[in-house]
Structure 1
């Protein structure tokens, strides 16, 4: 009798000990804060986008998203951290063109594989650029600028924010499709190139909408077009460069990933929250001020978009012999 009582008591104790673990597994996601890794510094466009998106996503998920800035190595440090996190939905990554489209082609020694090590969740935004020229440029349209460059091969130049950046790649894509020869002048950021563009020392710059348009509206620079496939609602007065160069497109995209192996139900839940968040009028208004157009997608659509984007930039990097050095 005593032995039976002891065994029953032990069994009950084991069941009681197992209850918290079983309960935790059955708790609805999310039952604790979600870390959203931003692989760039605080205060930049990606960080500001993350903070705008995370608040509304948290409301939709019924939880809290906490921003964790992990900058360095062009976004590779934060991306690697997210790739190696547990696939439980409590670590997400806000990735960009730099981390998942350009990075692998520029640096084949990345510590992660952008396809193998991540679970795509949602495409959440795009930031087009604008084609800027000095006010003393003889060109007032994209077509006129191309014609002018063809008449002056090797005499014109363009500025970028550095070797291997989206700014340089956009200009090289433009050169490739337009069939023009223009010299590259790298700067440590587009802000440092703007004075030389205004003075006419530089002939061309592809800059982000929120930093470039104030100079245009103040009359210090001239904008010839936008790099999205159609006119952008963020600058509706500008024609699309694609009107002259069919198919020309260069956007900095933003998207959510989790580590590989993220359960399908969590992917679906985060995807739904992200899509609802970018449709919210308050979020859309805040994003427009950042020069970002809201997107939205299924995980499969996002994966397909990134694959096509990465292939495009890889070809430009190889064909134009571009490196980050």
Structure 2
């Protein structure tokens, strides 16, 4: 073999060996896990649950850092601008990486270009609820009342351009009804007005509604996942209704890293997460909060995001959904 031919082969082999060695030694130092929401919320709970197990199984410290503000945009931006070395992770929800940008919210990053999907940790349904004073016990009752009294009913959500807003407008479109959207500045005020009867219906996340549903202060009519939730097995999914096949809106939690992070690192993180969420202890902990564990591969997560992006973009155009400025 000629020396000029041999040298490129040696160099290429050295690169592959070095890359594999890097992947095998990762993580060699503590890993920062950015949560773009305050401590105590659903995304924070999921992040802390999996970060602890990542640390145990990968023999390294995974440190939670809550970088809050601007509906998750500040934390997401911090990760997007971090070094692509696998030592900064983002545990994200739809708001900051998909729904917000689609609804026209101004963000200082391009989620598709600047963030690399690793794995979908899990997802939890939204719930459609009614104040007990409203004479409805099912979604069919809601549709009938909306048609009988057009323009009279309203539903509250945590805000314009939220996942809940998209879910509500999709209901309106498919059912051929017009229930007025009442946007709030977050879930807490929306739930407060639901409890007080100031707004008759609401679409909110599952965690803040569970105690009120159990006490009878709110009536849960349906969940918005494609199937019933193990946390509320007696509550029907919207998709069970005739004409609503394929209806699905969830709050999901996924891991992202800065774009151009080595693929070996991304794959290793995804494999480790898949193992963790399938552990009985971890899956039971997630399910206790209504989170259905997933733990898919990077390519599967990319396909999931593409489907989500297509659905939300279509609804935004057809229902003229815009985030509040």
The TM-score, its normalising length taken from structure 1, stands at 0.88
| Alignment partner of 1:212 out of 209, 213, 219 | 209
* Alignment map for 1:54-93 (pairs within 5 Å): 54-93=51-90
Q: Deviations for 1:68-122, whole angstroms, at most 9, x for unmatched residues?
A: 1111222121112111211111111111111122122123642222222222110
Q: Deviations for 1:232-271, whole angstroms, at most 9, x for unmatched residues?
A: 1111011111111221111011111111111121111100
C-alpha spacing 1:60/1:161, structure 2 compared with 1 (3 Å): same
Partners of 1:27 and 1:185 in 2: CA distance: 51
* Alignment map for 1:100-119 (pairs within 5 Å): 100-107=97-104, 109-119=106-116
1:45: which partner in 2?
42
3-state SS of paired residue (1:234): coil
Larger radius of gyration: 1
1:319 aligns with 2:312: no
1:170: which partner in 2?
167
* Alignment map for 1:130-169 (pairs within 5 Å): 130-169=127-166
1:202: which partner in 2?
199
2:126: which partner in 1?
129
3-state SS of paired residue (1:127): strand
3-state SS of paired residue (1:211): coil
| Alignment partner of 1:192 out of 179, 184, 189 | 189
* Alignment map for 1:223-302 (pairs within 5 Å): 223-244=220-241, 245-302=244-301
Cα displacement (A) at 1:302: 0.3
Comparing 193-202 with 306-315, greater Cα deviation is found at 193-202
C-alpha spacing 1:25/1:254, structure 2 compared with 1 (3 Å): closer
Comparing 47-56 with 281-290, greater Cα deviation is found at 281-290
Q: Any unmatched runs of 5+ in structure 1?
A: 1-23
Cα displacement (A) at 1:132: 0.4
Partners of 1:311 and 1:302 in 2: CA distance: 14
C-alpha spacing 1:186/1:269, structure 2 compared with 1 (3 Å): same
1:11: which partner in 2?
none
Does the CA contact (< 8 Å) of 1:210 and 1:289 recur in 2?
Answer: no
C-alpha RMSD of matched pairs (Å) = 2.1
3-state SS of paired residue (2:209): helix
1:20: which partner in 2?
none
1:306: which partner in 2?
305
Partners of 2:24 and 2:307 in 1: CA distance: 38
3-state SS of paired residue (1:256): strand
